[in-house]
Structure 1
Amino acid sequence: MSKQPESSLQAEVDRLRLQLQSFQVNHGSEPITIANYLLARLEQLKVTKMFGVPGDFNLGFLDFVEDHPTIEWVGNCNELNAAYAADGYARVKEHSIGVVLTTFGVGELSAINGVAGAFSEMVPVLHLVGVPSTTQQKTKPMLHHTLGDGRYDAYIKAASNFAIAQAHISVKDAAAAEIDRLLTECITRCRPVYLTLPTDMVFEKISSERLKIPLSRLTPPNDPDTEAFVLDEIIKLIDQAADDVVIIADACAVRHDVRVELNELILKTGYPVYSAPMGKTAVSENYERYGGIYVGSISHPEVKEKVESAKLILSVGALKSDFNTGNYTYSMSPSRTIEFHSDHTKVQYAGFPGIGMKELLPMLTARLSEAKHKNPVPKFSAVVPKTADGVISQAWLWPTMGKFFKPKDVIVAETGTSSFGILDVPLPQDSIFVSQILWGSIGWTVGSTLGAAFAARDLGLNRTILFIGDGSLQLTVQELSVMLKHGLKPIIFVLNNSGYTIERFLHGKERKYNDISNWNWTGLLGVLGDAEGTLSQSYTVKTQAELEALLATPSFADAGKMQLVEIIMPKHDAPRALMQQAELSGKTNAYVSIA
């Protein structure tokens, strides 16, 4: 029988103590406003930034935020971008959460796309909504921001589709327990939660006693007997595979905080390891036994052969979406696959609910030894092609950028050419790759870069670098002004290829609906807040030589100020993986009618 880790036991004790607190009345503890109780909990979760837009139903709460010693208000240009920023913040600051504050109705509905993306990709975000007073919610007057028909719960119902849990503070005595329940759901299940805070509840005072007990991010412990059985079954299959085992790391290895456990398994066994696109940088891409990206039929041939010929595959944190699996072309039969997830494990065709990988992986590692026969792993590298025309092609750009990256860089890639192009490029030690491959909301990376840059500053990471197409940037460009306002210094590479390239390759290569208006990109930062030209620098590069010279310039590479680089690229060029994915998606979507 497995031994329960000490951290899990302490988490269970704290959980029970909080449950007991819900039934006790504390007369001796210092009273605290509901607003400050919530902020205290967020501070305990290492939140230092709150994103959003002020509105009349959240202004009272905003006074408390502005006066808070460690949590800073980041005013965004719109609620959608604020939700994107909270998402990016949470992705980079992995043991914290993102927080977006909106106002009732008009504000929260504007944010909902960003929150939905966080739900889709398992990112812990608190969506906090300032709502009318408890009296107004009972009497239901025809209030501004309502639908005019008395349905004050319409927005709650809408939000319920994009939150793993909801709480509505209407009685002060239940506020602390509800806040704790909601935040615990957020950090343990790694998905957005939704909290409404009526204007009159902000100032109500409650006991602060519960704040002495920390919230736990650990899920309930695995059942020991079931866990022991699962371990025995996995060991049998590994023994039968005779060291012909590969590991595939995916997004939930990052989202559900098993990087350390996964790395220990990899280093002890020496099994070859690959990652899915959404799992890029879950494992160090400099590790000698790391072979690169596996994405079904789109994979490089040598990667595809190594993964698909293995006798056993250990899949850690898989998210099997179309773009993450090469349009479902994974050749991984359940008969030779073991899947580790946050709340269940699959051994071949058998599923074991409640057996999570956070506890299971260390126990598996403890029972394994170094592989006696180490299968060769293809070297993951990117070679810059030699061309004579000097054109900045997709095939040339990405391996060239690979030489520019440094350890601990945060690299954000927009959906489309950027996220596909960078897959084939090894990233340095301790770098963080940020993308939104499953939800795929174009323009998401601008707000996400804002949040990511704040998180990187909190954690003492290196540069924040964004790659985004000209079409995507036009959707959310306003947040560049917020970056300037707060002294952030990202490097922004704008891929100017005259429109929506990913859409062109999916369908309508010559259609006008994939064209956009060309902007004066190098004049943009002056308009958005740097009128004097002291906070930023902008460039346009049209040839390989111009870009290479810029990347080699120390003042540019040091990122001492915010910088925007417009890269002029061919209109009908795309990364290898994108072209292959687009071909597969086009067949699936059946754009062309069949007579």
Structure 2
Amino acid sequence: MTVIQHVLSRLRELGIKDVFGVAGDYAFPIEDAVCGHNEMRWIGNCNELNAAYAADGYARIHGMAALSTTYGVGELSAINGIAGAYAEYLPVFHLVGMPASGVQAARRLVHHTLGNGEFDIFYNMAEPMVCARAIITPENCVAETERLIAAALHSRRPVYMGFPSDFAIMPVVGAVQPVAAPTADPVVLDAAVTAIVDTLSGCKTACIVPGILVSRCGLADEAQAIVDASNLPFTTMFMDKCVLDETHPNYIGMYDGKLMNEQVRAFVEGCDCVFGIGAMLTDFNSGSFTAQVDRSKSINVMHDMVRVGSAFYNNIGMKDVLTELVKRIPRKEVQAPRVEGLGAPQGDPDGKITVDYLYPRWQQMLKPGDMLIAETGTSSMGLGFAHMPKGSTFQNQTLWGSIGWATPAAFGAAMAAPHRRTILVTGEGSHQLTAQEVSQFHRFGLKPIIFVLNNDGYLIERLLCNDPEIYYNDLAKWHYARLPEALGCDGWFTTRVTTCFELDEAINKAELCGTGAYIEVVTDRYAASPLSQKLHETRDSLYSA
């Protein structure tokens, strides 16, 4: 077995069937091996950044993903997407095709280099964006592959695998067993669980805040078992939406500091203990840092450590903690708020599309099992407070926040679960960065429902900057509803809507058309969702130290 064949066989054993990327000559050995594999597919994207975003979306649904790029020009185009996967805990195996080893040793001046004979520049640039990296050779292939797999699965973050083109097609040398997953020290594990139990036992009121790491580590069932065993109410923050089932009777809604849902804020911050499971107080999660959770009265179980008040218990995995805790956690009766969604659509059917109509109407169309991918900006901030049906997921790049992410990420998510309905909601400013990836949905027989919110510019930027009408917030005016036809999406339902009645009619047609659907939704320039308006009002705390 050759070096690249060995690596692909291990990725396939992990469950990865698709490799996203763009063709490039130094990566031909990788691409040839993918296309020659009878259980893997090459998923060609429009550019490497889109490919990285698509791998991000795939990993959110499937648990991990693979991306292939060529040396230099390709990997640098993808590095923003890799950084986003790192920030948001997504294991992506980045396979980089490199010039042959002899070319590198001779410091030849070849294309896709800086012309200085240095070949480790881009490898070193990738270091901060991955949890592990290696240049793969026939001699180290087996051992390094296992090391990188173990790192990616433990840290839930990307890894970099460089393949000199001659090494990629050489036979592997040697053998090694897979790296065993870390095991928790039973003494430390017992101490951490005992501390959690003692803290919760001494509380009259407490709530659970499950975070994004629950989803990234594949531990939703274990976290849900903690909720069921303890009977504690649970809330989620923005980045963590839908990590647990929002139809569960113990769900009380979204917690976003002082910005939204005052009843939820008062309850959470008034609890004797706030029990986090993989939650992080980022700027958007904390409502522009307005969340006031007393650290001394809080617990957080992260993927490899536990904090109880000011005490830390290191090198113990979240799964081990939750598995042991569910046997011992005390059961409580706590009065908590009831979840509120967005209500019914409100507006004049023949009038302009307003915020009070748009977001509740989107909530109304959601069905069990849907995958909702919402772009960074006002659209995701409105949909973040929708009450999601059972089995549905809400995906948003909350922490990294790279505009343009959602369109290719939705494609990646749809590739990971083509049997589920994919709904993409993106702003037109973000869409202009990566719109060409719409063509890939049709190419692979996928049938998403895509909404492009056209409010004549970068609305979230207008709300956050000093002069909302400044020129840099304006956009070229595209005919969005015509894009799918130009991109080869033959037979799709496409339309442009400007009134509430037209929106309602378009949604009904999209749900029945049996093809992909693409709906341009036109609103007033400052038709902003409530949370985005609140961010405008709290700019000082959002950008404070």
Category of TM-score, reference length = shorter chain: over 0.9
Which residues in structure 2 correspond to 1:185-200 (within 5 Å)?
185-200=151-166
For residue 395 of structure 1, report the CA deviation from its aligned partner. Answer: 2.8
Residue of structure 2 aligned with 1:294, choices 247, 255, 269: 255
Indicate the residue corresponding to 1:520 in structure 2.
Answer: 479
C-alpha distance in structure 1 between counterparts of 2:274 and 2:540, whole Å: 30
* 1:517 maps to amino acid: A
Is 1:220 aligned to residue 182 of structure 2? yes
- Cα distance in structure 1, aligned partners of 2:308 and 2:531: 31
Match of residue 363 from structure 2: 402
Identity of aligned residues (%): 36
2:200/2:330 contact within 8 Å kept? no
CA contact (8 A) 1:137 1:152 kept: yes
Amino acid in the other structure paired with 2:493: Q
Offset, 1:578: 1.2
Q: Answer yes or no: is 1:62 the counterpart of 2:31.
A: yes
Residues 536-575 of structure 1: pairs in structure 2 closer than 5 A: 536-553=492-509, 556-558=510-512, 560-575=514-529
Write the letter of the residue equivalent to 2:423. I
Say if 1:491 and 1:559, in contact at 8 Å, map to a contact too: no
Deviations along 1:287-315, one digit per CA (max 9) or x if unpaired, are: 11101111111131111111111111101
8 Å contact from structure 2 (residues 197, 330) kept in 1: no
* Aligned 8 A contact 2:146 2:178 in 1: no
Tell me, in whole angstroms, the C-alpha distance in 2 between the residues paired with 1:492 and 1:385.
20
Is residue 380 of structure 1 aligned with residue 340 of structure 2?
Answer: yes
Coordinate RMSD, CA, aligned: 1.6
SS of the residue corresponding to residue 380 of structure 1 reads coil
Task: Give SS of 1:565's match.
Answer: strand
TM-score by length of 2: 0.96
- Distance across 1 between alignment mates of 2:228 and 2:129: 38
3-state SS of paired residue (1:229): helix
CA distance in 2: counterparts of 1:264 and 1:518, whole angstroms: 50
Name 2:222's counterpart in structure 1.
261
Amino acid paired to 1:142: L
Determine the C-alpha separation between the residues in 2 that align with 1:565 and 1:121: 29
Q: Distance in 2 between matches of 1:76 and 1:232?
A: 50
Partner Cα separation in structure 2 for residue 193 and residue 558 of structure 1: 42
| Number of the residue aligned with 1:240 | 202
1:330, distance to aligned residue in structure 2 (A)? 1.6
DSSP 3-state at the match of 1:352: strand
Contact 1:465 1:491 survives alignment (8 Å)? yes
| Correspondence for 2:52 | 83
Shift, 1:36, TM fit: 1.1
For the residue of structure 1 that corresponds to 2:452, the secondary structure is strand
Shift of 1:493: 0.2
1:236-385 equivalences under 5 Å are: 236-242=198-204, 244-371=205-332, 373-385=333-345
Between the aligned partners of 1:582 and 1:165, the Cα distance in structure 2 is 39
Contact 2:209 2:274 in 1 (8 A): yes
Query: Could you tell me how far apart the structure 1 residues matched to 2:50 and 2:25 are?
Result: 19
- Match 2:426 to one of 451, 454, 468: 468
Structure 2 gap ranges (5+): none
Listed as ranges, the matches of 1:30-179 within 5 Å are: 32-94=1-63, 97-170=64-137, 172-179=138-145
Please name the residue that 2:464 is paired with.
506
Query: Which residue type is aligned with residue 468 of structure 1?
Result: T
Say whether 1:496 aligns with 2:457.
no
Alignment coverage as a number of residue pairs: 542
Give the SS at the match of 2:451: strand
Measured in 1, the distance between the counterparts of 2:28 and 2:193 equals 53
CA–CA distance in structure 2, aligned partners of residues 483 and 513 of structure 1: 31
Deviation per residue, 1:472-505 (Å, 9 max, x gap): 1000111111222111111110001001010000
Distance 2:389 2:542 in 1: 36
3-state SS, counterpart of residue 160 of structure 2 = strand
Aligned to 1:13: none
Task: Report the AA paired with residue 76 of structure 2.
Answer: L
Whole-Å separation in 1 of the counterparts to 2:426 and 2:540: 23
Q: Which runs of 5+ in 1 are unaligned?
A: 1-31, 591-595
Between stretches 438-447 and 228-237, larger displacement belongs to 228-237
Residue type of the partner of 1:581?
A: L
TM-score normalised per structure 1: 0.88
1:480 aligns with 2:447: no
